[in-house]
Amino acid sequence: MNFKSIIIRLFYMLIHSDGKVNEGEVSLGKKMIEAENISESEFNFQMNALKTKEISSIYKECLVDLKRLKPEQQIRCIAWLCVLANSDGFMDRSEWQFIYKVYHKELNLPLEIVMDVQKDLIKKLSGQPMADVAHKESYEL
């Protein structure tokens, strides 16, 4: 699986982790797909396909694929999850547990770097056109 399908699956699991889909998360998800050059039709197709699967099987499949990504891409995925979870000004406990489980327990990623990338994404989302949100792959691991 590729980065785009992984980030869509992570997005799907995040927005469903607290039992209620938040409009702010959905709205910010649209900015994320624009920033990551994911077509709206591809996004919608994958989101609809995920509705037919159990979250536990989505998680297992996604984790296998996520572990195949470069660490920089893994970090970017987790940073997006953090940005999305905070879109309403509050990160629900279940959202945090999901993010923590993936970045810390499964991938063992450094939180400081995830936070740096998250800050980068927030800056770029608030001040630049989405086409200017570049992948930053130069963080020291």
Domains of the chain: 3-128 (1.10.3680.10)
Decide if pLDDT at 131 tops 50: no
Identify the CA nearest to 95 among candidates 3, 2, 24: 24
Could you give the count of Cα atoms lying within 13 Å of 85 in the half-sphere of its Cβ?
A: 23
Arithmetic mean of pLDDT over the chain: 88
Residues contacting 1, CB < 8 A, separation 6+? 61, 62, 65, 68
pLDDT (0 to 100) of residue 20: 80
Q: How confident is the model at residue 128 (pLDDT cuts 50, 70, 90)?
A: low
- Provide the residue type at 63 as one letter: L
Q: Does residue 98 register a pLDDT over 50? A: yes
User: Residue 140 pLDDT > 50, yes or no?
Assistant: no
Q: Does 87 or 43 have the greater pLDDT score? A: 43
Tell me the whole-structure pTM to 2 decimals. 0.86
Query: Are the CB atoms for 139 and 113 separated by under 8 Å?
Result: yes
The mean pLDDT value for 109-121 works out to: 95
Give the mean model confidence (pLDDT) for residues 122-130: 73
